[in-house]
A and B are shown apart, each in its own frame.
Chain A
């Protein structure tokens, strides 16, 4: 079922006056879609997820699941499942009891619970762990139990709050692929919150970029990368980030800024150069290197092949094609 937020607003009182956590947010996840909400910490993404779950009450706005307005429906009756960053497994219960906690709470009959437990254990490869306690599991197994617990209730939507952030890099990449495959297989609408833009780009059908309680842009991962709506999105998506420099420095008018991705710039003194700069240092990151070049007092990052990296402290020409230039107005918004 779809999940829709319309004009959802939430403020928290603090000693220094109210803080806006969500600033009239609109977001829609279509039935079966995986929408990733990404943003720096404090951008309001977790608050948004908690509002959808019913753990927080919005001050204004409407939240619907399917065609039903659930704004005033209690968390337990929204029929969504949430996977927490901390996994939220009960340390004193076995894997089986953890997975079936919600079914037991809803007093489902024993045989039904046993069958569902079997199915979901099968699906997630948790056979043989049923009688173990969370402390006896590896990080990946704990993560799978948390997922199994969400899946077993067959909810209308999954809400995931940075579910992979406690895992090490290797396991994170593996579980990311697993979550993606699982979501495709089950076809359950999912809202997934992360601060990791790589996770956002690889997982999302759609990605919403948040900053300071507002959604800056909602788009497919490739649109987000190719057509960022403003300088914040341009810098946030992509690693290393897009170079956003003053337009005047590169002869593109007098106001606003321009953005060029590090892979769209080449260095070298031959041919017609757009500008010249000085290489300050070069970072080797494996198959390629990132050169830091100072052009008209602005730092520009350039992806260069590892074997073709310039010497630090050398002077070089900077080349790029007009078609790869993103233009932004004085307010930081993209110019069409």
Chain B
């Protein structure tokens, strides 16, 4: 690094240190303490870890998070890739439709959650009425589906990346396939998806990281973690442990657990993608 670029890097490194590494280190330290925020933290060894392994609420939150990821990630990926494939051709009005596809991603999460709170309202919500009185806010199974479905429309970035990947495939590949009599379905299976696969794999990795965290706002605003804890995902559980029950030490241990789980999932995905030669 030259001295000029080193000087430019300093503010970033300082911010990174103060705002990320110091709190992260503090969280690791706090994970081995009992800390209510009122009295000074007291060292408690591996108590928090032991408590975590026996904590039914933790395992339920983890299960909820897994269900969320399993529904949300494929849904969001399929939506992003499908919309990109439909809108990659430039024709009249495509620009506006692309803007519409991107729009939900620039709506603030809280506003998006309030919108869905209205859509899902059992008494007057258009979506709840349209699907024949399914009560998304009191039926645990329906709520477990509603929250990931909400996120399936906020695909802006993945859509743009998929659009770029599709546009990078040269037109002559499709032309040569067309001349050889390949149907659109065959072209999708044998050309488009395999050539977009590395990008889709990256999007999948990224979306799993995102999906383990972004459900906080909708779970807090739309379902408040219910009904019957069905949407109490790990982030919401950590938040409540810390700021409702003031168990900062245990909440730190939960955060570390979420970090380790995310890292394990990403590592496994990365290894699989490597083995399948996607990356």
Contact = CB atoms under 8 A, between A and B. Distances in A.
Interface string A172-210: 000000000000000000000000000000000000000
Contacts of A86: 170, 172
Given A92-B194, A92-B195, A102 B182 contact: yes
A105 B186 contact: yes
Contact of B179 (A75, A92, A93, A104): A75
A229 interface: no
A81 B172 contact: no
Contact of A106 (B175, B176, B181): B181
A103 B190 CA distance: 13
Contact of B178 (A55, A106, A149, A153): A55
Contacts of B186: 104-105
Contact of B195 (A75, A91, A102): A91
B29 interface: no
Interface of B is mostly: helix
A interface, size bucket? 20 to 34
Contacts of B172: 84, 86, 88
Nearest to A80: B179
B194 A81 contact: no
Contacts of B178: 55, 75-76
B160 to A, nearest CB: 23
Nearest to A91: B195
Contacts of B194: 92-93
Contacts of A81: 179-180
B172 to A, nearest CB: 5
Contact of B177 (A53, A78, A92, A101): A101
A75 B175 CA distance: 9
A77 interface: yes
Interface in A43-71: 53-55
A82 B181 contact: no
B18 interface: no
Interface string B175-201: 111111111001000110011010000
B274 to A, nearest CB: 16
A233 B124 CA distance: 78
Top-4 shortest CB links A-B: A102-B180, A105-B182, A76-B181, A88-B176
Interface of A: 53-55, 75-78, 80-82, 84, 86, 88, 90-93, 101-102, 104-106, 149, 153
